[in-house]
Chain A
């Protein structure tokens, strides 16, 4: 028997229709059912194949192709069932069934171990939940980002505002630095070089501000007045800052007096010096006057010291007393300078506290423990030309009272300087002692004190009158000093 016969017509076999007695109803039922099943079985794998091709992301897609092959094979068996109704091709039918069997077994065998893996794949619902979760997280993240963004925008805004404020205050600083009437200099604290200087400082030295930038600060200190220790102490932190009067070197080589207050700006935290800042006030004019006054006063202090030492060496009481009187006169001169040094304009001062201090010193220096003193003076600004003769006059009159009025006993002295009428002052020095003639204290000839009194009254263009009514009262009418 040939293969062809085996495939299409095994010997002696009848077509399957014969078994159905060629009953038209049975035949048509089988044919119709097999056609429908066969077509369906052809359609299903096509749909699956189509689906799988469209979804290349599907996991285990090859299983679907196994199904496609298996179902196609099943469909083919149904068409073969129709063929075998009329043709006894049972060989072909058997082979097709064999192929179908192999595919079925393969599918069945491979499917079982695949199930746990397929189960492990997330379901659509799970994916939905996960998706929702994801969406929520994305939403949260977006919200977070929006929040961060808002913060960033706010921070940027703040920074911009801060920068504007900084720019503003920088501008204020520059303006106040540049135009300040007081000199200002900034130095590099390490090199000592000038970083910036304002106009007032530069002008004091005879330069323009830009001429000074980069120069050493010490180049402008007068050679005798350089003071490295003061600066070193400030850097070491021994002192907060330094303030002193010193001479600066002007462009023309002349010294100029300045009052400098310096301080250090330090880095927050480490405390390293960042910037040295100095304010320098031009006090040249006033300071030179002050130095002259101080020198004059110091010279008078030395004179007083010499007189005091000399007086201690003397044995003769009259000579001793003479030197003490002289000390009183020197004191009056010194006190005038003292008052001037304490005054703002260095030219005038209030006479009232001066008279008080002068009289008190004379009383206390005179050793008259039981003598009391009262001073009454209206506030009056006076200059050197009025204060010196008036001070010396009061010195003479008070000294006279102490020497001659009380004989070492108790008593009271009154000093008064008041306006008698507009433009006219009246000085009164009175005591409640025994009464004496101030002009003739030394006997018949006028004493030195009397000569001095007369001379001073005349210098002040005044008139002296003396009354001895329960003590001695000296009155001097004098024109008021011209007010500056």
Chain B
């Protein structure tokens, strides 16, 4: 959190086509995507290397850690704002996300304007 973060977005989703779709949406909104990751460990490595200001984080990821685990580690090591993007509406999952103090929460599929608003709100917080 000491050093300034880059003006870009990292996309984390284990579904390649969804990660690609989100990347296109972000680029369509004029933002730079610094990379995509499919697992929690990849996500942490990507964020630590690229230091993006914003991370779009899927909750369910391949591997034994999920997006919430990755978000905690990112919060502790880099300090990027993490916006969760979930397809799930299960109360337990949503509660876990809320406890993690996310910078935002979006449900799939995400509209352009929802993405834009969530990112500007996260940057302003």
Contacts and interface: CB of A to CB of B under 8 A. Distances in A.
A312 B15 contact: no
A290 B28 CA distance: 34
A230 interface: yes
A305 B88 contact: no
A331 B114 CA distance: 15
A38 interface: no
The 3 residue pairs across chains A and B that have the minimum distance between CB atoms = A305-B21, A342-B89, A304-B109
B89 A338 contact: yes
Nearest to A259: B92
Interface in B68-125: 87-91, 107-109, 111, 113-114
Interface in A291-331: 294, 297-298, 301-302, 304-306, 308-309, 312, 327, 331
A361 interface: yes
Nearest to B65: A229
Output the residue of B15, B18, B107, B109 with the most chain A CB within 10 A: B109
Contact of A302 (B17, B64, B65, B107): B17
A227 B66 CA distance: 13
Interface of B: 15, 17-18, 20-22, 24-25, 28, 64-65, 87-91, 107-109, 111, 113-114
A341 interface: yes
A229 B64 contact: yes
B87 A227 contact: no
B97 to A, nearest CB: 14
Contacts of B28: 312
A364 B111 contact: yes
A334 interface: yes
A334 B24 CA distance: 21
A365 interface: yes
Contacts of B107: 338
Output the residue of A308, A327, A361 with the most chain B CB within 10 A: A308
A297 B109 contact: no
Contacts of A361: 111
A362 to B, nearest CB: 10
A339 interface: yes
Output the residue of B15, B20, B108, B114 with the most chain A CB within 10 A: B108
